Amino acid sequence: MALTFPTLISVYLLPFLAVVAAIHLIHLLRHQRVRWAAMDFLLESKRKNQTSVRLKQLLLLMLRLFAIAAIAFLLAGPILQNTWSRWLGGSKVHHVILIDDSGSMGDQQTDMSAFERGQRVIRSILELSTSSKNEQSITLLPFSAAVDGSSPEILREASNKKTPQQWAQVVDELNPTATGSTPFEAIEAIEKIVEPAKDESMILYVLSDFRTAQWQEGGALIQQLDRLAENGVQLELIQCVDEPHDNLAITELAPLPGPQVTGVALRMRVQVTNFGNSTARNIPVQLTQRSNLPSEPQDPISLGAIRLEKIEPGQAVSGFFDVVFQDSGNQIVSAQIADDSLALDNQRWAVVDVADAVPVLIIDDGGEDESLFLRLALAPSPQVTTGAQVQVERSVFLRDAVLDRYHAIFLINIANLDQIETERLEQYVRDGGGLFFFMGPQTDRAAVNQQLYRDGEGLFPLPLKSPATLLADRAEQAPALTVDAEHPIFARIFGGTLNNWLQAIDVTRYYAVDPTWDASEDPAVSVLARLRNGAPWIVEKKLGRGNVLAMLSTAAPRWHNWGLADPSFVLWALDTLVYLGEPKTRSHPRESGETLRAEVSTDSFRPLVRFTTPPDPQGGRVQSAQVAAKVTGPDPAERTAVFGKTLIPGVYEVRRSRLNGDIVATCVAFNPPASERDLQVVGEGQMRALLGDTPFQYRNANALLVAEQSEAGFPLGEQWWFFMLLAAVLIFEQWIAHQASYHRSGTPRGLEAR
Q: What pLDDT shows up at residue 82? A: 40
Structural domain boundaries in the chain: 2-80+718-743, 91-245+680-713, 358-585, 591-669
DSSP letters spanning 340-353: -S--TTSEEEEEEE
Task: Count the Cβ atoms, other than its own, within 10 Å of residue 166.
Answer: 12
Which 8-state DSSP code applies to residue 452? I
Which 8-state DSSP code applies to residue 453? I
Cβ(334)–Cβ(321) below 8 Å: no
Phi, psi (degrees; rounded to nearest 5) at 194 = -115, 125
Closest CA to 589 of 671, 676, 678: 671
* Number of DSSP helices (H) and strands (E) in the chain, helices first: 19, 33
Q: What pLDDT shows up at residue 33? A: 59
Which 8-state DSSP code applies to residue 679? -
Residue 269: C-alpha distances to residues 252, 351, 445 (Å):
7, 13, 44
CA pseudo-torsion sign 416, 421, 427, 428 = negative
Cβ(473)–Cβ(500) below 8 Å: no
Residue 30 burial class via C-beta count within 10 angstroms: exposed 0-12, middle 13-18, buried 19 and up: exposed
Spell out, as residue ranges, where the chain has pLDDT lower than 50.
81-90, 705-713, 751-754
Residue 290 burial class via C-beta count within 10 angstroms: exposed 0-12, middle 13-18, buried 19 and up: middle
Sheet hosting strand 266-274, strand order edge to edge: 248-255, 266-274, 316-323
Alpha-carbon gap, residue 356 to 366, rounded angstroms = 30
Q: What pLDDT shows up at residue 187? A: 86
Residues 6+ apart with CB under 8 A from 599: 638, 639, 640
Closest CA to 133 of 265, 325, 1, 31: 1
The strand pairing partners of 560, in sequence order, are 507
DSSP letters spanning 101-119: -SGGGG-B-SSSBHHHHHH
Alpha-carbon gap, residue 404 to 427, rounded angstroms = 9
One-letter identity of residue 195: E
Phi, psi (degrees; rounded to nearest 5) at 599 = -85, 135
Residues 6+ apart with CB under 8 A from 666: 330, 653, 654, 656
Phi, psi (degrees; rounded to nearest 5) at 632 = -120, 0
Alpha-carbon gap, residue 182 to 222, rounded angstroms = 13
Cβ(352)–Cβ(289) below 8 Å: no
Alpha-carbon gap, residue 706 to 123, rounded angstroms = 10
Angle (deg, nearest 10), helices 37-75 and 14-28: 170
Fold identical between 91-245+680-713 and 358-585? yes
Class of the domain covering 591-669: mainly beta
Cβ(555)–Cβ(370) below 8 Å: yes
pLDDT, tens only, 216-274: 766 788 888 888 888 888 899 999 988 888 999 999 999 999 889 998 999 999 999 99
Alpha-carbon gap, residue 705 to 77, rounded angstroms = 11
Closest CA to 143 of 176, 106, 166: 176
Sheet hosting strand 329-336, strand order edge to edge: 301-311, 280-290, 329-336, 347-354
Sheet hosting strand 630-631, strand order edge to edge: 595-601, 638-645, 630-631
CA pseudo-torsion sign 261, 264, 265, 267 = negative
Cβ(158)–Cβ(197) below 8 Å: no
Cβ(645)–Cβ(179) below 8 Å: yes
The residue length of the chain stands at 754
Regarding beta strands 546-551 and 536-543, do their DSSP bridges make them parallel or antiparallel, or are they unpaired? Answer: antiparallel
Regarding beta strands 663-671 and 590-591, do their DSSP bridges make them parallel or antiparallel, or are they unpaired? Answer: parallel
SS3 740: coil
Q: What pLDDT shows up at residue 199? A: 76
SS3 643: strand
Regarding beta strands 358-364 and 347-354, do their DSSP bridges make them parallel or antiparallel, or are they unpaired? Answer: unpaired
Superfamily of domain 91-245+680-713: von Willebrand factor, type A domain (3.40.50.410)
Alpha carbon 317 to its chain centroid, in Å, reads: 19
Element (H, E) at 369: helix 368-378
Cβ(713)–Cβ(253) below 8 Å: no
Cβ(373)–Cβ(386) below 8 Å: no
Alpha-carbon gap, residue 148 to 383, rounded angstroms = 55
Element (H, E) at 596: strand 595-601
Phi, psi (degrees; rounded to nearest 5) at 374 = -70, -40
Q: What pLDDT shows up at residue 751? A: 46
DSSP letters spanning 272-301: EEE-SSS-EEEEEEEEEEE---TTS--PPE
Q: What pLDDT shows up at residue 295? A: 62
Element (H, E) at 575: helix 568-585
Closest CA to 522 of 460, 467, 434: 460
Class of the domain covering 358-585: alpha beta
State the Cα torsion 44-45-51-56 to the nearest 10°.
Answer: -140
| pTM given for the model | 0.77
**Three-class SS of 304-331:** EEEEEEEECCCCEEEEEEEECCCCCEEE
